[in-house]
Each structure stands twice: as C-alpha cells, then as structure tokens.
Amino acid sequence: MKKYILLASIALSCCLTSCENFLNTENLTKKDTSNFPQNKKDLESALIGIYSNLSEGVGCKAHSNFFVSCVASDDAFGGGGNNDKFFHAFDFLMSAGENMFENFWEVRYKGIFRSNSLIETMNNTQVSEIERKNILGETYFLRAFFYYDLASLFGTVPLVLQTEPLNLPKATPEILYGQIASDLKNAIEMLPSVRYSDTQSGHVTKWAAEAMMARVFLFYTGFYNKTEITLPDGLKITKANVIEWLNDCIANSGHDLLNDYRQIWPYTNSITLASYKNDNVMKQNQLIWAEDFGKSSPETLFSIKFSNQSTNQGNTLALGYSNQMCLFMGLRGGSQNKEAIYPFGQGWGAAPINPQVYIDWTASEPTDKRIEASIINLPIELPGYKKGADNNVQETDFYQKKIMPIRAKVIEADGKTKMYDSFSIPMFGNKGDYQTCNIQDLILIRYADVLLMHSELTETTDGINRVRLRANLSPLTAYSLKALQDERRWEFVGEGIRWNDIRRWKIAEKELEKQTGQNIYNFGVASKSNSYGGGYAKRYAETKGFFPIPESQIKLSENILKQNEGWGQEANYGGWTK
C-alpha cells in the first residue's frame, strides 16, 4: 500500500509542475495588443479601423449628428412618414425615446477608443518618422472630428483620452474644445503640405485639418462667447492663428471652386445626364459631375466615402458603407412613378425644405443659379410627383437635390432602356438594392466653406465674392455679417451646415420659430406647419440645441453623467397625431 501512495505522490508532483504549462494556450485566430500593430500594414489596418467609424456613423442614419443638423435647422422639416417620429422629434427639438442617441454615442466613442489605442501603441512599431507622422496626424484629426460631432450634438461629453476604462464626468466646454483644437493643431503640424490632387481622396489632409480648425474655432468662440481656445498645455489658438491656417489652405492646397455649382452634385453624373430631360443647359455645357467615375473634386476637402460592400442586415457598419443620408432624404413612396420623378430616386422623404428658404432666397437673389441647382421645386420640376405617399407628413413643395438617390438610364445590349436605382450601379458596378446602392461621397467640408469662413474671420469680401461670382451674383462692395450669413445660408442649404451657423450667430431662436405656420402637406393634404413642446423658440431656449445624452449611460455611470438641460418628461414627443 505504501508503495502505491509513494508512487501516486510522485506522479502527482510531476503532474503539478507541468500543469501550468499544459494549460497555456495560444490564440490562433486573433492577434492582441501585445503583437499588434507591429508594421506598416498593421498600422494601415488600425487606421482603417478608425476611418470606418465614419461609415458606421452614417449607418446610425437618423440618429447621427449630420442628419440631426439637417432637420433641426430651419433649412428643413422632419418629414418622412407619420411613424418616423425621430425625424419629427429632431425637427421639433423633442425626445422620441430616452436612448435615441445611444447607437451614435456608442459609435463615436468606438472611434475615439480606436484612435486612443493607435496613439498608445504607435511607438511599438517600426516605421519611418514620416509614416508615423502621417498616421498620427490623420488619427488626431479623426479623434477631433468625433469629439466635435459629440460636442455639437450633446454640448459636453466625457473626454476619454486613454484606452483604460474610467467612469468620467462630462468635461467642460473649455477642456473639450481645448482638446479638439489641440488634436487639430497636431494634425496640421504632422500632416505634409502636399497638394490635394497628390493625395488619395478620403484621407485626411493638412488642408482639411486647417478648415476643420476654423469651423471649430468659429463655433466655440461664437456659441460660448469666447475669443480664443486654450489648449491643454496652456497655449492659445487665436483668430490670427486660424486666419493664417486658412491662408495656407487657400494658397497651397490646390483646392478650388468648381466652375459650375451643379458639378458638385451627382445629378450631373455623365450616365444620368444623357437622359436628364429637364436640363438641356447642363447637357450642352457638358457640366459633368466633378467626381464622375471616382475622380477627386477640387472643391472637396473632406468627405465620407462609400463602397460596394453595403448590406442591410441590421449591422450599422455594413449599412453605413452606403450613403444612408441619400436614402433618408430621397423622395418618399415606392409607388411613385419612376419616370415622373426621374432622375431622383426613392427614399424615406426626410428633411423636406422649409418653404421659407425658397421664399427668402427668390426674393433676395432672384438670379441666383444655385436656387435651381439646390432645390427641387416639385410642382414645377416634377409635376408627376405624388404627395402623401406612404403616410408622408410635414411634406413641402421643396426638396434639396444635393444629397439624393440619383437614378440612371442605360441602353442595354438588346436596345432596351433600363433604369437603375442609382447611377452607381452602371458606374461603379454596384449590386445593392435601392437602400444600399447610393454610394456617392457625403461631402463634409467644401472649399466654398473655406472661402466664406475666411471672409467671416477677416471681415473681408474676397472669399464671399468668389462664391457669389460663381452663383451669377454681383459682388459685394463691403463686408457685412448679414450678407455673410445669407451667403452661407444659400450656399450650403440642405448640407447640415446651417444648424451650427445659426447657433453660433445666436439667431437660432428667431430663425427656427419661422418654421411655424409654413405650407406643408400631411398625408397629402395641405396644412400649416405646427410645433410641439411650446414651440421651436421655446425648445431652443430650453436646450440650446443640445440633444439628450442616452439615459442608459447616465444610469450605467451611476449618475456621474448628468442629463442635459431641457430634457425632462415635458420634452417627450409621443408620435405624429392628426
């Protein structure tokens, strides 16, 4: 017996020593942060991981800052169907669910986490200093972009700058914008001075960072009544700095205005244009879209790119590989006669243009070529369009035509003409359905913006007059803020720029209130626009245009996060009622 016990204990002790080694396993399918990123290829992957957050943000559709900016401003109403309560809620500055922005909040913090992770692990890699700077510069820009999206939508949010999880309170605007400006400054300093045409489109450039800095500076100083931004290291960004960067951009970027405003927008693409019956002018003058067949446009400083890989299966990222803003703002109703609304395609009918924009514009600048280039006047341009399709509410006579599904007709081999839901199908070999086939870039910063921001900061007419010239308008003799404000309103109508403009100019309450009593159609029946929660001005005064942060996050933070002002029970929008 003793013998066995002895044997057993020897066996046991042998086993125990080798146990830990036996239990070690290696992950054969995934790398981890101990062996990633190691080389340039890994860094590219990590960077793409951050860029793809732009796509995922578009996949958040109605709940993205871009969409909210479009419908919350006085450019447009909510629109869509009577069940699209988020469209209406954003227009009325109301809440349609305590966690309505959870998805977008999550997506933007994913981008921030990935940026933080790359910044932290960057030094483990063996790449040249130039490559390192390029990648870091783009990363800093994107982190700043993500935070600016969050800051625009929510005001203040937790400032997370490391991958280690910390339950942080919301940062003050000073801290938050200080960090955004610091990241942009890093991007400007790290990215090379290479003309836009020598870089691959979609990548962040020094010029985009300079323009973004001006946008951030204008919003922060205007909205928060500041004169400068204080960086975390105590240095300050002044108006003079920003003007200097814009001067650099104007002088060295190679970016320029396109000759014709219509060339910015995909309805002038070469495939559609051949069959675009309403526009002989464009056809005669060969006004081809600047991004035809994937070309880089000199006017685009920064845009979100889309691909053929989009699928509609409940995955925010995969959906965001196509331009969901086009789908959302497309003309409503599967039963619309496709010929009658050609070349514009089917969508959910969000963001119908506020008739007041058309009234004001035609009154003040009747010769402006941009009016017809920007806005579909439905009764005139598309008389066959049916109102009230699929319970359409807050519908107006006007839609923007910039961010739109654009169909195309192609004469097939058998001689028959085939209509496609998007020109991208014949142009880029896209195989998506009408919900995923819109893959034109979503332009976020245009050169016209650079010129107008320059005018605004310098209080000069150079930039503004270049923009007016292209629009067939006479030059201004002297700079005025009113003229600048109008010019920005016309130039960027429907592009989501107006929202932060009216907020920083402190004219939001007044301008938003004008949305009440406009001619709209509900279920196809002519009506007057109404408001909720006490009116647009009241809701703006209560919220300052900031939307509620997700309640789920407040609960999870154990109330370290605080809800924004103006978002109590009284802000609930129950849904459309007749």
Q: Of residues 371-400, which lie at the interface with another protein (CB under 8 A)? A: 391
Among residues 46, 184, 290, 493, the one that binds another protein under rule CB under 8 A: 46
# of chain residues touching another protein (CB under 8 A): 99
Q: Of residues 78-107, which lie at the interface with another protein (CB under 8 A)? A: 81-83, 98, 102, 105-106
Q: Of residues 454-513, which lie at the interface with another protein (CB under 8 A)? A: none
How many angstroms separate the CA atoms of 279 and 342, rounded?
12
**Closer CB to another protein, residue 311 or residue 377?**
311
**Closer CB to another protein, residue 83 or residue 519?**
83
- Least separation in angstroms between CB 281 and another protein: 28
Rg (CA), the chain: 26
- Least separation in angstroms between CB 522 and another protein: 10
Among residues 63, 114, 255, 402, the one that binds another protein under rule CB under 8 A: 114
Among residues 6, 10, 11, 130, the one that binds another protein under rule CB under 8 A: 11
Structure tokens at 31: 């790398």
Q: Of residues 159-178, which lie at the interface with another protein (CB under 8 A)? A: 160, 163, 165, 167-168
Residues 302-321: x where in contact with another protein by CB under 8 A, - otherwise, as a string: ---xxxxx-x--xxxxx--x
Among residues 377, 527, 530, 572, the one that binds another protein under rule CB under 8 A: 572
CA nearest 82: which of 448, 521, 488? Answer: 521
How many angstroms separate the CA atoms of 549 and 552, rounded?
9
Residues 233-262: x where in contact with another protein by CB under 8 A, - otherwise, as a string: ------------------------------
- Least separation in angstroms between CB 417 and another protein: 16
Q: Of residues 404-463, which lie at the interface with another protein (CB under 8 A)? A: 424, 428-431, 433-434, 439
**Closer CB to another protein, residue 505 or residue 523?**
523
| Three-state DSSP string of 220-277 | HHHHCCCCCEECCCCCEECHHHHHHHHHHHHHHCCCCCCCCHHHHCHHHCHHHHCCCC
- Least separation in angstroms between CB 384 and another protein: 17
Residue 67 and residue 100 in contact, taking contact as beta carbons nearer than 8 Å: no
**Closer CB to another protein, residue 199 or residue 465?**
199
- Least separation in angstroms between CB 314 and another protein: 7
Residue 207 and residue 194 in contact, taking contact as beta carbons nearer than 8 Å: no
- Least separation in angstroms between CB 559 and another protein: 8
DSSP label at residue 482? H
**Closer CB to another protein, residue 86 or residue 217?**
86
556 C-beta neighbours (distance < 10 Å), count: 12
Among residues 13, 25, 128, 284, the one that binds another protein under rule CB under 8 A: 25
Residue 301 and residue 314 in contact, taking contact as beta carbons nearer than 8 Å: no
485 C-beta neighbours (distance < 10 Å), count: 17
Structure tokens at 303: 């845009």
In angstroms, how far apart are the furthest CA atoms of the chain?
111
How many angstroms separate the CA atoms of 341 and 407, rounded?
10
CA nearest 135: which of 193, 203, 202, 199? Answer: 203
Residues 282-301: x where in contact with another protein by CB under 8 A, - otherwise, as a string: -----------xxx------
| Cβ neighbours of residue 413 closer than 8 Å, sequence gap 6 or more | none
Tell me the residue length of the chain. Answer: 578
Report the sign of the C-alpha dihedral through residues 115, 117, 118, 119, in that order: positive
Strand pairing report for 442-446 and 300-304: antiparallel
Among residues 40, 49, 254, 372, the one that binds another protein under rule CB under 8 A: 49
Residue 129 binds another protein (CB under 8 A): no
- What kind and span of H or E run contains 130? helix 129-154
User: For another protein, which stretch binds (CB under 8 A), given 52-60, 236-244, 336-344, 360-368?
Assistant: 52-60
Q: Of residues 512-571, which lie at the interface with another protein (CB under 8 A)? A: 523, 550-553, 555-558, 569
User: For another protein, which stretch binds (CB under 8 A), given 13-21, 269-277, 505-513, 540-548?
Assistant: 13-21
- Least separation in angstroms between CB 256 and another protein: 20
Among residues 40, 52, 132, 133, the one that binds another protein under rule CB under 8 A: 52
Runs of H (alpha helix) within 514-572? 536-543, 551-556
- What kind and span of H or E run contains 525? strand 525-528
Angle between helices 355-364 and 481-491 (to 10 degrees): 120
* Per-residue CA distances from 442 to 83, 257, 437, 503 (Å): 26, 17, 14, 23
- Least separation in angstroms between CB 296 and another protein: 8
**Closer CB to another protein, residue 43 or residue 76?**
43
User: For another protein, which stretch binds (CB under 8 A), given 33-41, 173-181, 214-222, 443-451?
Assistant: 33-41
Q: Of residues 198-227, which lie at the interface with another protein (CB under 8 A)? A: 200-203
